[in-house]
Structure 1
Amino acid sequence: MKLLLDENLPKKLKLDFPEHEVYTVTDKGWNGVKNGELLKLLLNDGFDALLTFDKNLQHQQNFKKYTICVFVMIAPINTYAELSKLVPLIKKAIKKSTLVGPIIISL
């Protein structure tokens, strides 16, 4: 699966998904790209999912027009120590067959 880490996530999270092809927004040169445009870029570049800490994204975009999954990570702060606790839940969700739209991931 091809995953993109939003710019609000620690780059170190890439290491927690060795079985997947993982990029950061910085890797792709997409820093500062607004959410609607970012979703279009994801689709055009063959990504399967976006991981983000942006809790508002799920309310700002019409996911009916995108065939992409967005994992919205909910934690007290967006540090690697906190967000890495959510990785097993994301991996469990990835194994499901239908991944479209926002999926809230929290402990």
Structure 2
Amino acid sequence: MRALLDEQVPVELGALMRQANWRHDVHTVADMDWKGLKNGALLREMRAAGFGALVTIDRRIEYQQNIPRSGIALVVLHSFRARIAELAPLAPDVAAALDVIQLGEIIHPQAPTVDEPMQRRG
């Protein structure tokens, strides 16, 4: 799956995701020169560029955008802070989510401090 890391997601997470599963093509918003795009415009640009999933910490995006009709899958990371130290343990979960997620679906990997399994919606 071709995935995009949203602006707030540390770029180091992409390298950790690649280590967990080399099949995924992971880029950042900065790589694509899309910094500052609003969510709707970002989803349109992603779809046009062939991306299948957005990895974000923005918990509001699924309520602000019609993800099921967007043509993009969404992986919403849940942790106390958006620091690589807290997000790094999620890298294998994110890579696993990209293995199974379908366009229009939303998956919520939880930081290890939360004892809940990955939630899947869509």
For residue 10 of structure 1, give the secondary structure of its aligned residue in structure 2.
coil
Pair 1:24-2:22 in alignment: no
Identical positions, percent: 36
**Which residue identity does 1:73 align to in structure 2?**
L
Gaps of 5+ in 1: none
Cross-structure match for 1:14: 14
User: How big is the shift at 1:30?
Assistant: 0.5
TM-score (norm 2): 0.81
For 1:64 and 1:100, the matched residues in 2 are separated by 4
Aligned alpha-carbon RMSD (Å): 1.4
d(CA) in 2 for partners of 1:62, 1:106: 22
Q: Give 1:65's aligned residue.
A: 69
SS of corresponding position for 2:100: coil
**Structure 1 position 3 matched with structure 2 position 9:** no
Deviation larger for 49-58 or 90-99: 90-99
Looking at structure 2, the residues matched to 27 and 36 of structure 1 have their Cα atoms a distance apart, in angstroms, of: 19
Give deviations 1:35-66, integer Å, cap 9, x for gaps: 01100011000001110010111111112321
> 2: CA distance between counterparts of 1:97 and 1:27?
23
TM-score with structure 1 setting the length: 0.91
* AA aligned opposite 2:64: Q
Q: What amino acid sits opposite 2:35 in the alignment? A: N
Q: Which structure has more strand as a fraction of its residues?
A: 1
Cα-to-partner distance string for 1:54-91 (whole Å, 9 max, x where unaligned): 01111111123212111000000000011111112122
